[in-house]
Structure 1
Amino acid sequence: MPSFDSARDRFRLGPAHLGVLGRLYEGERVSGDLVSARDELRAAGLMSDDDAVIPELAEFVTALAEPVVLVQIEIAGGEGVTDHGAVVGSDACYVYETWPGEVESEYVRTDLPLLVWSLARVVGLRDREAKPPVAPVVTTTIGVMDAGFEALADMDTANIDDTAERLRALLAERGRLSDPELTVFTHLLLQLNGNWRMTVAWNNRKGEGTDIRGITVLDCGPLGYWLRERPAEPIMPGAVTPDSELRLVFTDVRRVWRLITDLIPGAEELPAPAER
């Protein structure tokens, strides 16, 4: 069910609820498949019987319908893939998060100066005081990493020594890796908590389309954060194959923060605000 927490200015909404709000914003009738979602919005007190939304939700809908900047975050972990992000409108900014296995997302209003902090919290960024390993750069291919993940899925990871030995042998054979890269890459896959891909998009100032910037980072627990330099973001569909180069670079938490900051466009990159 949708809900509103007025004390923290946050909403819980599912895709169908967003569909209802989108149709109403465009002045269209709610289609039959969205009637249940509309009734849920009414029952939650977010919308009146004549389809007028509460002021707080109206600000969110405007930002969602007329975004200045969109942030998409895809996080892959042990529970699967979850989608998160942020929407920056002309007058309001919201960050949203999902929970594995749940349909609804939580949308929380934030201030633009706090956007980077909010995004860092979404991806779980924290300083684990990891030290650069003997091989701070690992170079192989996407196919080799995928083979490593597939092998781990079939192994009994309760026996960590046996798992590490078998994974190391596979990576040496398939990736033609040697030490120290081989040992480092083996442990990166073993310690991987998850990886996240952050993409930021906005209409460029010249009015010639959409500009996009992005990064992909592997969170390897005690081994720290590793930036995927190759393939470089943004990646277009079909651009990556098993033979594509994979280049991972150890990156301390301060640089990850700067990378997130650099994704956000400056005022000079955005369309000039319309005169009122």
Structure 2
Amino acid sequence: MPSFDMSRSRFRLADEHVIVLSELASGNVAPDEFAAARQELLDCGLITAEGKLSTLLLPLLRTVLTPGVVISLETASRQGKLHHGMLIGEEHVVAHEAWPGTAESEYTCVEPKTLVWKLAEMVNLQQSPGTEGPAQDPRDKAAAAVVETTLSTVEAGLAVLEGAQVARPAEVEHEAIHRALATTGALAEPSLTLLADLISELRSSWRLTSAWQTRTAAGEATEARGFAVWDCGPLGYWLRELPTEPVPDTRIAPSTPFRLVQVPAKTIWTHLTDLLPPQSDLRAAKTEQAAREA
């Protein structure tokens, strides 16, 4: 069921609710297949019987309908996959965060000056010694810890976690992961044991991508950036250098090279800030957005 917190302008909405609200905000009639979602919005007071929107929704929907920058966050853990994100509009920034086992996501307005901090919170970026790893420059490949293999080998190890229906001792799980990785024949020691350790400690893997419209000499184009990380708890953060983000599905195959490099939290912070467009592109995106609204 949809709900809202008036004191903090927070809304819990499923995709069906957002579709209905977007249609109504655009002056359209929601399709019949979303009648149940429309009734739920009516019951909780976010719309009237005539289809008018609560004024509380206006900043949210203005941003959802015409974002200048779209940021997508996909996470995977033992609880499954979740999709979060952020929409940057002309006046407002809206973040949406999913919750395991529920259909609704929480939508909130974010102060624009704090959006990088919000992204860091959404990926649970920590500076504690337990996740910082060795003090080293990740650009120094001679010093950095690196794992290189193929996508099919990594998926063989991750499949052990996906198949775990009940809790089991850590050493039993680690042995199963090590055995699955060894079966592929693509890794030798010490990388084999290191990758088994990383998968055993994997809290979550996530990928962040951003996209916005920009102008080039050839005309209007879409600019996209992204990066992916493994959060391995006490073993630190590992930047997935290969395959590089954004990754089209057409570039993914079992033999696709896969590379992880250990990095400190400050490197991930830098990547978060690099997701945002230059001010010139952001102004251009806002101009395009205003033109579409006119």
**C-alpha distance in structure 2 between counterparts of 1:35 and 1:176, whole Å:** 52
Verify: 1:189 aligned to 2:199, yes or no. yes
Output aligned runs, 1:1-276, within 5 Å. Answer: 1-129=1-129, 130-132=132-134, 136-153=145-162, 158-206=168-216, 207-270=219-282, 271=284, 273-274=286-287
Distance 1:253 1:175, change over 3 A: farther
CA distance in 2, matches of 1:169, 1:73: 31
**Contact 1:73–1:199 at 8 Å: present in 2 too?**
yes
- Secondary structure of the corresponding residue to residue 205 of structure 1: strand
Q: Deviations over 1:205-254 (max 9, x none)?
A: 33522111111110111001101000000101121111111110001111
Q: Secondary structure at the match of 1:100?
A: coil
Q: Deviation per CA, 1:83-123: give whole Å up to 9, x if none.
A: 10011111111111111121111001111111111111111
Sort the Cα spacing of 1:31 and 1:62 in 2 relative to 1 into closer, same or farther, 3 A: same
Partner of 2:140: none
| 3-state SS of paired residue (1:119) | helix
Q: Post-superposition shift, 1:135?
A: 6.2
Assess if the C-alpha contact under 8 Å between 1:135 and 1:181 holds in 2: no
| Range 95-104 or range 171-180, more displaced | 171-180
Percent identity reads 37
Contact 2:144 2:261 in 1 (8 A): no
Unaligned runs of 5+ in 2: 136-142
Larger mean Cα displacement after TM superposition, 207-216 or 247-256: 207-216
2:178/2:196 contact within 8 Å kept = yes
| Number of matched pairs | 276
Letter in 1 for 2:39: D
Local SS of the residue matching 2:215: coil
Give 1:10 deviation, angstroms: 0.9
Deviations 1:173-226 (A, max 9, x none): 524433332222120011111101111111113352211111111011100110
Structure 2 counterpart SS, 1:209: strand
Matched-pair contact (CA < 8 Å) for 2:133–2:237: no
Report the alpha carbon displacement of residue 169 of structure 1 after superposing the two structures with TM: 4.5
Cα deviation code 1:143-173 (max 9, x no counterpart): 1111112245557873433443453354345
Unaligned runs of 5+ in 1: none
- Give TM-score scaled by structure 1 length: 0.91
Q: Is contact 2:71–2:208 with CA below 8 Å preserved after alignment?
A: yes
- Aligned-residue Cα RMSD (Å) equals 2.2
CA distance in 1, matches of 2:92, 2:264: 31
Shift of 1:259: 0.7
